[in-house]
Amino acid sequence: MQESPKTLKQCLDLGAQHLERTQVENPYVVMELLAARLYGCGRMDLHRHADLVPQQRVLDALRRGLRRVAAGEPIQYVLGQWDFRQLTLKVDKRALIPRPETEQLVEIVLNSPVLAHCAKPLVVDVGTGSGCIILSLAKELDNGVFVGIDLSPEALSLAMENAALTGLEDKVHFARGEGCGEFDPGSVDVLVSNPPYIPSRSVDGLERKILEHEPRIALDGGADGLDIFRALIFDAVMVVKPGGGVFFEIGDEQGGAVAGLLEEFGFTDVEIKRDYAGRERFAMATQGDSG
Ligand SMILES: C[S@@+](CC[C@H](N)C(=O)[O-])C[C@H]1O[C@@H](n2cnc3c(N)ncnc32)[C@H](O)[C@@H]1O
């Protein structure tokens, strides 16, 4: 007997069961994300298609996506786009997938008193990757000069595509560079960075999904994970204006060490902030008057 064609809901159930067997997390959500991308709608609107039989091209694309996720590829790369705050950004292997805690880093910068004192702040994001931080700041702040720096030309090319996709290309500049030492002394109002901070020996122990798909240059922070903080804080002493601020995303065991470095280099109001899960994930400080 010929099998009757399956509705979208049945296809999603079957796909989710397959993903569950391959130990993919949140398998039903993953199937919904794939379907929503193919139907060009939100996950919450899929119910409109749930009892219909998908077209063959949708079924084929669902199968292709399912295979990639089952083989260990992050869903974000399979979808090719991901939401970050108010923006939908292109994501691919050229740069790290933007994480939810980094949205909180942007929130911390936006709420900082440092910005209240600047009419047109110079905001620099070191290790810009997909551009998620600097593009969000440019989107959500009325005024400013916004610069994203990255060592990786691949990441920069993605960030520039994202600037064009989000209509922010006239507001944000991108440049290849190592750290932020090339800015004029005392010129930067806000230095923000989510740098690579995983200790080298721990990188190989990361989930396969991360290790095999996301760029190592985005992860490896040297022997103790603090290499880039040392370099950034050293440069920040020179380039951040007195009264300007530095804002870092950090590993959850690095709060004490990063706070110590900031204090050692004369920064004031050093604060370690927790993410919504209660882990110490952000460091912020102000450049002292004599900076
Ligand atoms: C953890 S990723 C963060 C990407 C993006 N800002 C985000 O939050 O999703 C770190 C980024 O820093 C870049 N990077 C690594 N070392 C760097 C350095 N010394 N100077 C500038 N960028 C660096 C990597 O290429 C990578 O894009």
Residue whose Cα lies nearest atom 11 of ligand 1: it is 127
156: helix, strand or coil: helix
Q: What's the CATH fold of domain 85-287?
A: Rossmann fold (3.40.50)
pTM above 0.85, yes or no: yes
* HSE, side-chain direction, 13 A CA sphere, residue 279: 10
Residue whose Cα lies nearest atom 18 of ligand 1: it is 178
Tens digit of pLDDT per residue, the chain (291 long)? 567 789 999 999 999 999 999 999 999 999 999 999 999 999 999 999 999 999 999 999 999 999 999 999 999 999 999 999 999 999 999 999 999 999 999 999 999 999 988 889 999 999 999 999 999 999 999 999 999 999 999 999 999 999 999 999 999 999 999 999 999 999 999 999 999 999 999 999 999 899 999 999 999 999 999 999 999 999 999 999 999 999 999 999 999 999 999 999 999 999 999 999 999 999 999 998 754
160: helix, strand or coil: helix
Strand ranges (E), the chain: 81-84, 87-90, 122-126, 145-150, 172-176, 188-193, 240-249, 267-274, 280-287
Q: Which atom of ligand 1 sits closest to the CA of residue 130?
A: 5
CA dist 133 and 109 (Å) reads: 10
CA dist 205 and 201 (Å) reads: 8
* Phi, psi at 149, each rounded to 5°: -115, 140
Q: Give domain limits for the chain.
A: 8-71, 85-287
Q: Which atom of ligand 1 sits closest to the CA of residue 219?
A: 1
One-letter identity of residue 79 = L
Distances (CA, A) of 257 to 56, 101, 155, 200, 253: 55, 20, 28, 17, 8
Centroid of ligand 1 to alpha carbon of 94 (angstroms): 11
CB 114 within 8 A of CB 164: no
By DSSP bridging, strand 188-193 and strand 81-84 are unpaired
The finding on whether 133 has its CB within 6 A of some atom of ligand 1 is yes
Distances (CA, A) of 195 to 64, 125, 216: 33, 10, 12
The finding on whether 150 has its CB within 6 A of some atom of ligand 1 is yes
Spell out the long-range contacts of 11-19 with Cβ–Cβ below 8 A and sequence spacing 24 or more: 11/35, 11/54, 11/59, 11/62, 15/62, 15/66, 18/66, 18/70, 19/66, 19/69, 19/70
The finding on whether 96 has its CB within 6 A of some atom of ligand 1 is yes
The finding on whether 129 has its CB within 6 A of some atom of ligand 1 is yes
**Number of neighbouring beta carbons within 10 Å of residue 170:** 8
Residue whose Cα lies nearest atom 5 of ligand 1: it is 129
The finding on whether 149 has its CB within 6 A of some atom of ligand 1 is yes
Centroid of ligand 1 to alpha carbon of 98 (angstroms): 11
Residue whose Cα lies nearest atom 6 of ligand 1: it is 128
DSSP string, 4-19: PPPPHHHHHHHHHHHH
The finding on whether 159 has its CB within 6 A of some atom of ligand 1 is no
The finding on whether 102 has its CB within 6 A of some atom of ligand 1 is yes
The finding on whether 198 has its CB within 6 A of some atom of ligand 1 is no
Tokens of 195: 């740098």
